[in-house]
Amino acid sequence: MSNFKKQLEQEFKNKRYDDLDDNKKNEIKLNSVNIIMKEITDNKNRYIFYCPDIALVNPLVKLVYEVALEVKKAGHNVVILHELAGFKAHWLYDHEDYAEYKSIPVDYIINKVSKKSKRQKNMYSFRASDTLVVTDAYQDMLENILSEESLKLVQKIVIVTGYMGLSSLQPGMDYNRLNVNSLVFFDENVKADYDELFNTKSYLINNYPVSNGFNREVIKPGEVYPVIGITSIGNNDKAQQLINVFYNRYPNLSMFTFKVISRDNMESFIDNLSTSAAIVVLDKNIVTKQMIYEYLNMGGTPILPKRREFSDNPILTKNFVVEDDIFDMASTIANFCQYWLSTPTSEIKKSMIQIADELELNNRSLNDFGETVKAIFGELQANRQKTFGGLKEMLENESK
């Protein structure tokens, strides 16, 4: 059917609806709400997790999939929404510890008009009963759909992973204006900061467990090399400055090499972490402290610039945080290198695991995480019931 014909039929449909009397219109609305209510009662309403098409290992996509899987396990209808048709997070799927993520249905915003056509259709059909879940890094999509009247009833949730959301809000904009129902946090300090700024319902997941693959057997002391790993997403210039300062200031430590952590797949990512003497985290945006916790739980040594994301944790601050200045960081790395040369790697690993135990990382369980997610999304499901239950009651009163 041509687009012109579709538009014409829609106009006829709208005209027929406009010609109906108020009672008939109300009856149609009430029937629609009853259908939606049954969908919600049967747990068939969708929880759509928008996830960026990032083909390399990254904590943001992993977090989205980990939460989505627990929501699915709780009995809800979950969909992962990617951008371009055919995209797959192979780096996640292909690792044996994450095979279960393949069970989550995936849909796409951009699809080909037909298999034979090269034209693309940029559209996704939301339903009134849907819940759209986005991360703070990509919350600008909520502003793009703000004017869509048909999406007003869609429940909108933002997963806040750090302070990225503050830079993507337009001046004067807040979450109520974005029609956001709730914010979900992983960090109590970030939640407190947001609560001070915004009057929006919020939840906290403070038992996010160490993910599969990042266990204590991964780092083998005999396979750790004089390598300083660097993760510097969005901050490559600073990484290059740090390397140049280090080599020119400490030529006696030139046997140590710097290496950007490979993100091609989960195996190489974990292997790079496990074989490096230490990891320097220079990422422009910190997606929760999860990557640091996972590396520390393996027995690795993180070196962290002083940032607000780490300030609420006295254990991290005391042991790993240094001034966010390349000269200070180079000095800290040099001191560590001297220590590494004179200390068995087995002893270093043992001391790192003791710090991980102080943080009680090994006590975080997937079961507890799942129960927390289940409770939060159970309340969000009840909100759907309440919203459309109230709408039904209003329509019924109007029809009397």
pLDDT digits (tens, 9 = 90+) for 296-319: 999 999 999 999 999 889 999 999
Residue with tokens 């601050």: 317
* Percentage of the chain modeled with pLDDT above 90: 74
Contact 31, 395 (CB under 8 A): no
CATH number belonging to domain 43-209+368-398: 3.40.50
Q: State residue 327's pLDDT score.
A: 98
DSSP 125-171: ---TT-EEEEEGGGTHHHHHTTT-GGGTTSEEEEEE-SSHHHHHSPT
Least confident of 8-22, 132-146, 344-358: 8-22
7 pLDDT tier (thresholds 50, 70, 90): very low
Give the pLDDT mean for 55-68.
Answer: 96
Of residues 225 and 393, more confidence is placed in 225
Give the class (CATH, top level) of 221-362.
alpha beta
pLDDT single digits (tens) 144-198: 888 888 789 999 999 999 999 999 898 888 999 999 999 999 999 999 999 999 9
C-alpha span between 23 and 12 (Å, rounded): 20
Average pLDDT in the 264-271 region? 93
Q: Whole-number mean pLDDT of the chain?
A: 90
For CATH 3.40.50.2000, the residue range(s) in the chain are: 221-362
Is the pLDDT at 288 greater than 70? The verdict is yes
Q: What is the pLDDT confidence band of residue 11, given thresholds at 50, 70 and 90?
A: very low
Span 206-214, mean pLDDT? 91
The distance from CA 328 to its chain's CA centroid, rounded to whole angstroms, is 31
Q: Is 342 in contact with 261 (CB distance < 8 Å)? A: no
The total of other beta-carbon atoms located within 10 Å of residue 331's CB is: 17
Residue 218 has pLDDT above 60, yes or no: yes
Given a contact cutoff of 8 angstroms between Cβ atoms, the answer to whether 289 and 310 are in contact is: yes
Q: Is residue 399 over pLDDT 70?
A: no
In this predicted structure, what is the pLDDT of residue 124?
Answer: 81
Whether the CB-CB separation of 243 and 213 falls below 8 Å is answered with no
> Which distant-in-sequence residues (6+ apart) come within 8 Å of 96 by Cβ?
none
Q: What is the pLDDT of residue 21?
A: 63
Tell me the mean pLDDT in the region 220-224.
92
Q: What is the pLDDT at residue 3?
A: 43
Predicted pLDDT at 145: 87
